[in-house]
Amino acid sequence: MSLTDNLLAFTFAATLLTLTPGLDTALVLRTATVEGKQQALRAALGINAGCLIWGATVAFGLGALIALSELAFSLLKYCGAAYLAWLGLNMLRRPRRSFSSVGTDGKPGANWFLKGMLGNVLNPKVGVFYVSFLPQFIPQGQPMVAWTFGLVSIHVVIGLLWSLMLIGATRPLAGVLQREHVIQWMDRTTGMIFVLFAARLALSKR
């Protein structure tokens, strides 16, 4: 694929993943509902700061690993493909009926930026997901670090826009996102995309 095709494909996939209800969505919705828009915005900024931290970790670590050996590249490729396939098949077989809400033990004035950031930084699944997902959209011969930061930045922008939409229309969107059939449809659609990406990754060449 061309550079433009790679960017468009990643933007589409990242948008779909961002719109899928999960812990980050629950955190923003809960904070906006209970503590207001300003605190919810701080939580959203923290969540995406956590994505940037993971992006930096993956960019430098993954680049060094892939440059090290063909074996390391192959192991990473097949582990990533297996992880994505497992994730996708689970979503297809057992789509969620609801998504977990965030606890209400936060106090007014709490540092929601830090809470949002730590929620992602302390979640190793974010790093594993970036490692398995991002390489599919980095064209052969392109600088690994620059492209990783670029793709993560696209993901962050999409995440911030989605958070702003959630904050601006908290109550109506919260009701829609918690409907069982909406959550199941999103899980199944995302699961199918994951399985397709897993096959693409497994068949890809260095």
pTM higher than 0.85, yes or no?
no
The position carrying tokens 């969620």 is: 96
pLDDT at 64: 62
User: 182 phi and psi, to 5 degrees?
Assistant: -70, -45
pLDDT at 162: 93
Alpha helices per DSSP H over 20-108: 23-35, 37-68, 70-93
CA 62 – CA 128 distance, rounded (Å): 11
Angle at the Cα of 123 (from 97 to 10), degrees rounded to 5?
75
Q: What is the chain's Cα-based Rg?
A: 17
pLDDT at 57: 83
pLDDT at 142: 83
pLDDT at 112: 86
How far separated are the first and last CA of the chain, in Å rounded?
14
Closest C-alpha among 32, 47, 29 to residue 178: 29
25 three-class SS: helix
Residue 52: partners with Cβ closer than 8 Å, 6 or more residues away: 152, 153, 156
Q: Which residues of the chain have pLDDT under 70?
A: 1, 34, 62-69, 76, 98-110, 124-125, 171-175, 177-178, 206
pLDDT at 102: 47
Closest C-alpha among 155, 136, 132 to residue 50: 155
94 three-class SS: coil
Domain ranges of the chain: 3-203
